[in-house]
A and B are shown apart, each in its own frame.
Chain A
Amino acid sequence: MTDATLPPATSEPSSAKPAQPKSLYAIDELTRKRNAAEKRFQAYGIGAIGIGLFFLVVLAIAIISEGIPAFTKTIVEVEFTLTQEQYDEAEGQLFKTKAYEQIFIGALQGQLEEKGLDVPFDASTIERIVGKPGGDIRSFFKADESQLGQPVSFELAASSRVDGYINGRVTRENMTDSRFLQKTDLDLVDILVEASIIRSVFNWSFITGADSGVDNPGGAGIGASVIGSFFMMLVVLFLSLPIGVAASIYLEEFAPQNKFTDLIEVNISNLAAVPSIVFGILGLAVFIQFMHLPQSAPLVGGLVLTLMTLPTIIISTRASLKAVPPSIRDAALGVGASKMQAIFHHVLPLAMPGILTGTIIGLAQALGETAPLLLIGMVGFVARGYPDGFVSGFLDPNSAMPAQIYTWAARADYAFYEKAWGGIIVLLIFLLTMNILAIILRRRFERRW
């Protein structure tokens, strides 16, 4: 456009000068300018991509460097024997896990004293070094009482401060003595590390486990909330895809053009732009307070996210239905297919890649959503193990990955902050898997015409 207006502007001064010989080989002023503009534009483009890439790299480095410590954990490896009497006594108490912890600490103290270490330590030193092993010990012996009276080798999570010391987060210089860890405790830790009683291992329980209390970062895992997100995505997929596709096929192919359908179309576009928290409030009012569905359940989360995802899916499905050439419809109708046959046998398969793309974008959006979950009770301390079965996966209280990350980031102990970054890595992996699946499916359905 601007080029078209340029010649008259530049012709004024050039008419004053003597006319230059025109040659196709010599590049004249105007062409040079246009070429330069093109070069500049390309440079801007490369610059924009460069900036984008730079931020992507910075983000990736930040996530990976902060999140990696979440995938290792420091364990204390101890072989110890729990007698039947100790078991019965501990089971008789109110705070059973604490009793097991005391027995464990006593056993470890005995073992260390036998070794004759040359650093002073007592039971409270060991208590500060080990995390909260009581729960693990109890569930182990409760599940298999035949192990009582036999030496069993345990790998139990060390306290978060010791974990930080091994990871380099806590150093002798930056730490202050507190009831969580004393500087002198680190002497014992050093010796135990040398004896490889304390060592760093890959943290499987972070990937498979459930959330833990704020004083037990070593036991926290994202596994349960991955399951929560998974069940939510199932609900979203199986509700929003059929509903969305059916709605868009009707609107695109069958609906008469009148004011009413126009109104619906405008509203669908508007709904796509409604902030997600609004759907959360709606979900609380309709699904929990009116329909009495269980609180904190992935089913409700899924329903709320379905509402959020529907407009996205409808809009993209309609766009891809529109993109199918009319000749396909005409040909099908021409050889005697009914309208429905034409759509389901010919138009829909061709529109499928676009529909899938829209669905995956909608699902990815829903996967990362935290705000609506806040209102239906999925953000907070939801420490449940795996659901017992398929149905309870939908109905048992559970968290979702972004909600879990948010909860961890708000906790006082810095170890949870690392867990939050680790959780982001798991979330991104989940997302990438979904996207790769979508690409594979799209490739399979893709047809050319």
Chain B
Amino acid sequence: MKFTTLVSATALAVASTAFVGAAQARDQVQVAGSSTVLPYASIVAEAFGENTDFPTPVVESGGSSAGLKRFCEGVGENTIDVANASRKIREKEIKACAEAGVKDIIEVRIGYDGIVFASQKDGPAFTEFQAADIFNALGAKVLKDGKIVDNPYSKWAEFNADLPDVDIAAFIPGTKHGTREVFEEKVLAVGCEATGALQAMLDSGMSEDDAEDACIDVRADGKSTDIDGDYTETLARIDSNPNGIGIFGLAFYENNTDKLKVATMGDVAPSTETISTGEYPVSRPLFFYIKKAHIGVIPGLKEYAQFFTADEIAGPSGPLAQYGLVADPELAATQASIEAEETMK
């Protein structure tokens, strides 16, 4: 009968899919994590597929924390091999990894990335920032007239007459992004100290930890917007708001110089040179993490890591630097540690 054939065909289809799936061995490297590292990883993945006999790795995005969480789910073909991160792996995450059986992790630093403050090209003259300006504009509590108060400023010129007299509107990366942490650490915390707010908080009897946490609190009255998506979302917000200030990766800004203008930070203009010398203050290393247990199981995993960090790729004249990555001067040490499969302690 028609019906019985229909049913048996369906049952067969379901059974065979399950069977084939279990029998299939994964032949490509699976990567997930930071959206800042994603462009670089995709450049390498494409070149790796074109230049070797291994299939092109699959690179997913989603943020450093999300990537490391998936990385720490366990060992086996149905888990990812490499996690991209725009910050160092945390102690907590290493512990979570170890609990799930991911004990041997190889850390690979691929280079440095600058974080820049940019606004509409034809917008107000946001060209020079100090960390203190950003803190005054975006901190939850700031120092005003010698007292710590809830951020009272609504215009930039209210605390620094050199800045444009327009409403504060900032678009900063959401908390799932590694970039946020760097922004808090290298801009807000620094600005907090520079304005004297940190000292005032300590003087008022706050413990050091509490004061530091209060320093990196971002105001929640709508002047600052968390962007959970990618830089394109930030760009779209800036596009529609002439007074908006956005936080971008250096590479993203350099790809969009026809729409954006960048501001100096601490009197230094961001560029690959000023970042590699350390003059430009807001930069951070980029990493990826490899599961050692997968080396030798997933074909091409070690080769992928070696290819990624080769001088021709991640070096100063390679395609990654061409796209905007600041090459790591200690690349040779990284190459050696991958060769020896050195794991983190």
Chain B residues contacting A382 (CB-CB under 8 Å) are: 58-59
**B51 touches A (CB below 8 Å):** yes
A residues less than 8 Å from B17 (CB atoms): 293, 299, 303, 394
One of B180-188, B191-199, B254-262 at the interface: B254-262
Find out whether the CB atom of B307 lies under 8 angstroms from the CB atom of A295.
Answer: no
Is residue A14 within 8 Å, beta carbon to beta carbon, of the partner chain?
Answer: no
Q: Which residues of A contact B60 (CB under 8 A)?
A: 377, 379-381
Q: Contact flags (1/0) for A300-329 with B, using CB distance below 8 Å?
A: 000100000000000000000000000000
Q: Any chain A CB within 8 A of the CB of B42?
A: yes
Once bound together, how far apart are the Cα atoms of A411 and B42, in whole Å? 11
User: Does A381 lie within 8 Å of B41, measured CB to CB?
Assistant: yes
Encoded as 1 (CB less than 8 Å from any B CB) or 0, chain A from 156 to 191 comes to 000000000000001000111011100000000000
Q: Are A296 and B21 CB-contacts (below 8 A) given A94-B310, A377-B30?
A: no
* Inter-chain contact B58/A178, CB cutoff 8 Å: no
A340-B3, A377-B58 are contacts. A95–B22 as well, Cβ < 8 Å?
no
Cβ-based interface call for A391 (8 A): yes
In the complex, chain B residues whose CB is within 8 Å of the CB of A410: 35, 61, 229-232
Task: Check A54 for interface membership: any CB of B closer than 8 A.
Answer: no
With A and B bound together, what is the CA distance between A340 and B255 in angstroms?
A: 65
Q: Is B46 an interface residue (CB 8 A)?
A: yes
Q: Which residues of B contact A391 (CB under 8 A)?
A: 20
Q: Is the C-beta of A106 less than 8 angstroms from some C-beta in chain B?
A: no
Contacting pair A95 B21 (CB below 8 A):
no
Q: Give B73-124 interface residues, CB cut-off 8 Å to A.
A: 73, 77-78, 80
Q: How large is the interface on A (under 10, 10 to 19, 20 to 34, 35 or more residues)?
A: 35 or more
- Given A215-B322, A239-B13, A410-B232: A178 and B18 interface contact (C-beta under 8 Å): no
1/0 per residue A75-113: CB within 8 Å of B?
000000000000000000111111000000000000000
Interface of B is mostly: helix
CB atoms of B254 and A178 under 8 A apart = yes
Q: What chain B residues lie within 8 Å of A395 (beta carbons)? A: 20-21, 24
Closest-CB distance, A385 to chain B (whole angstroms): 8
Q: Which of B4-12, B142-150, B162-170, B218-226 contacts A (4 or more CB under 8 A)?
A: B4-12
Q: A94-B307, A95-B312 are in contact. Are A213 and B257 (CB under 8 A)?
A: no
Alpha-carbon separation in the docked complex, A243 to B251 (Å): 50
Does residue B130 face the partner (Cβ distance < 8 Å to A)? no
Contact between A384 and B47, CB atoms less than 8 A apart:
no
Chain B residues positioned under 8 Å from A340 (CB to CB): 3
A409 interface residue per 8 A CB criterion:
yes
The residues in A between 375 and 422 inclusive whose CB is less than 8 angstroms from any CB of B are: 377, 379-384, 391, 394-395, 397, 409-414, 417
Residues of B within 8 Å of A291, CB to CB, are: 18, 21-22
- In whole angstroms, how far apart are the Cα atoms of A96 and B48 in the complex? 10
Q: Judging by beta carbons under 8 Å apart, are A213 and B78 in contact?
A: no
Question: Does B13 contact A238, Cβ atoms closer than 8 Å?
Answer: yes
- With CB as the reference atom, state the residue of chain A lying closest to B230: A410
The answer to whether A384 and B230 touch (CB under 8 A), given A95-B310, A289-B78, A295-B78, is: no
Contacts of B129 in A (CB 8 A): none
| Chain B residues in 8 Å Cβ range of A411 | 39, 232
The verdict on A259 contacting chain B, using a C-beta distance below 8 Å, is: no
| A170-B26 CB under 8 A given contacts A213-B46, A382-B58, A411-B39 | no
Q: Among B45, B78, B80, find the residue whose CB has the most chain A CB atoms closer than 10 A.
A: B78
Distance (whole angstroms) from the CB of B115 to the closest CB of chain A = 14
Let me know if A413 and B59 touch, CB within 8 A.
no
Closest residue of B by beta carbon distance from A288: B78
In angstroms, Cα B46 to Cα A384, docked, is 9
The reply on A242 being an interface residue by CB < 8 A is yes
Kindly state the separation between the CA atoms of A26 and B194 in the bound complex, as whole angstroms. Answer: 87
Contacts of B229 in A (CB 8 A): 410
Q: Complex formed: what's the CA distance from A379 to B38 in Å?
A: 12
Contacting residues, chain B, for A295 (C-beta < 8 A) = 26, 30, 58, 78, 80
CB distance from B197 to the nearest CB of A (A): 35
Asked if B313 lies at the interface with its beta carbon under 8 angstroms from chain A, I say yes
CB distance from B34 to the nearest CB of A (A): 12
Which residues of chain A are near B299, meaning CB under 8 Å?
none
25 contacts between A and B (CB under 8 A): A95-B51, A95-B312, A95-B318, A97-B47, A97-B50, A134-B50, A138-B50, A213-B43, A214-B42, A215-B319, A215-B322, A246-B10, A293-B22, A374-B62, A377-B32, A377-B58, A380-B58, A381-B46, A382-B59, A384-B28, A384-B55, A384-B56, A409-B232, A410-B229, A410-B232
3 tightest CB-CB pairs across the interface, nearest first? A380-B60, A213-B46, A293-B21
On A, residues with C-beta under 8 Å from B are 93-98, 134-135, 138-139, 170, 174-176, 178-180, 212-216, 238-239, 242-243, 246, 288-289, 291-297, 299, 303, 340, 344, 374, 377, 379-384, 391, 394-395, 397, 409-414, 417
Interfacial residues, chain B to chain A (CB-CB below 8 A): 1-3, 6-7, 9-10, 13-14, 17-18, 20-22, 24, 26, 28, 30, 32, 35, 38-39, 41-47, 49-51, 55-56, 58-62, 73, 77-78, 80, 229-232, 251-252, 254-258, 307, 310, 312-313, 318-319, 322-323
